[in-house]
Amino acid sequence: MNFLQKAQSEGIILIDESNKEVFYKPLNLKLSLNPEERVRLQIYAELLYKYRYPAERIVFEHPVKMGSSYKRVDILVFADNTQQKPFLLVECKKESVSQQTFQEAIEQAFSYDNHLYTSYIWVSSGEQNMFFKAEHNSSGRKRYPLLDIPHFSWVDTLWYKIFEGGQFVWSFLQDIYEEFVAPSLQSKWFAQMVFWALIFFLSSYAASWANDKWLTPYALKNKWLQKDFSFKQLFWISAGLSTLVAVWALRHSLITDDLITASQAKEKIKQRNNWVFVTAILVAAPIYFILEIFFAYDTKHCFGCQPCTKEWRCWWSFAHYKIYPPSKRIWEYLTPSLFMLPFQVVSAMLAKQLLRIYAFVK
């Protein structure tokens, strides 16, 4: 059951398809069910059930004085029950709007924010969503792209502040790439390869670090490596997860829209995430066989040997692992990850073409 279905089952939102009307019980408001309203009711349900904002803090069509006239905000969420301090501004557009119209909606939301001084901005067409953190400084209003808005219970937590800071860093890196790197690369496909390589590298590094700091010590403590596991198998746990994370981060670039057949935004997200798993397998499968060529020696029974420690074929042995000082043991997993990086990028590009062909044939 999705959020809208839950709101309907609990009587929060009542949809009358025959008369093309929708009634919002907490707001005591009945509106015409046009395409844009269908997007707004989806977002309203998400605000209540996904983000857990109190219904008494959410209003529709809040007036904003701009010059001599008034404009109205689609949804405004307040930071207090008295509805005095605007917190989140939401601007809705119908599904399948053009990119130009969606960009105009963002600018419209920014113009509202110049008067309301909200903390967060959400612009949605159902199919596409953009989130922003809004702040005021000496040079005026500044907005920073975010991956999502905070849940009601997360807003003032330390973990969310850390998460939000990470989003700022990610947005900064994207801006640097788009402003300085991409224009200097003459070929669009080459610029895309560089960006994809960066994503795969970051995910591989994070997975290698986690493997070195958490998974491997746990495996050694429980003597997995003397029984049923080798360092190669530990590597593939982190390599598989890092590939999945990277593909998810690149899902809108890798997975063609022709593969998405659902009409509802939530179902589209679910379908795209299902294709993420398929794409991750397509990317990882050829790399597995490539790495087997270079790291193929079976060290399952080579837990304590010494003579071949520095040989390439003995990479996955415990003796080889111990030649690194503790601070550098991440290289046991990062070296194969770096070796497979160019193959990951090429494999991802081939997977994208295969998915396009499949969508065309289908």
Terminal alpha carbon distance of the chain: 28
**Residues contacting residue 58 through CB under 8 Å, at least 6 positions apart:** 26, 27, 44, 47, 48, 75, 76, 77, 78
Q: CA 130, 90, 116 angle in degrees (round to 5)?
A: 115
Which of 18-32, 155-169, 294-308 has the weakest average pLDDT? 294-308
How confident is residue 305, by pLDDT bands cut at 50, 70 and 90? low
In the chain, which ranges are E strands?
Answer: 13-16, 21-24, 29-32, 58-66, 69-78, 86-92, 120-124, 129-137, 140-146
CA distances from 16 to 23, 38, 93, 125 (A): 8, 12, 21, 22
Q: Are strands 21-24 and 69-78 parallel, antiparallel or unpaired?
A: unpaired
Per DSSP, 296 falls in state: -
Is the Cα torsion angle 273, 279, 283, 288 positive or negative in sign?
positive
pLDDT at 221: 84
Per DSSP, 258 falls in state: G
249: left (phi over 0), alpha (psi -120 to 50) or beta: alpha
Is the Cα torsion angle 313, 317, 321, 323 positive or negative in sign?
negative
pLDDT at 66: 83
Spatial separation of the C-alpha atoms in residues 225 and 49, rounded to whole Å: 45
Answer yes or no: pTM beyond 0.75: no
Q: Are strands 86-92 and 69-78 parallel, antiparallel or unpaired?
A: antiparallel
Residue recorded with tokens 């959410």: 58
Which tens digits make up the pLDDT trace of 319-329? 777 777 888 88
Spatial separation of the C-alpha atoms in residues 244 and 313, rounded to whole Å: 28
Q: Which two tokens stand for residue 210?
A: 């986690």
pLDDT at 301 over 50: no
pLDDT at 303: 47
Q: Do 25 and 13 touch, CB atoms closer than 8 A?
A: yes
Spatial separation of the C-alpha atoms in residues 72 and 59, rounded to whole Å: 11
Mean pLDDT of the chain: 83
Share in percent of the chain as helix, strand, coil (round to 5): 55, 15, 25
Which of 22-26, 97-101, 183-187 has the weakest average pLDDT? 183-187
Q: Which two tokens stand for residue 103?
A: 């960009």
- As a whole number, mean pLDDT of residues 124-152 equals 85
pLDDT higher for 267 or 170? Answer: 267
Q: What are phi and psi of 85, to 5 degrees?
A: -120, 105
| Highest-scoring range by mean pLDDT, 57-71, 316-330, 344-358 | 57-71
Spatial separation of the C-alpha atoms in residues 39 and 127, rounded to whole Å: 9
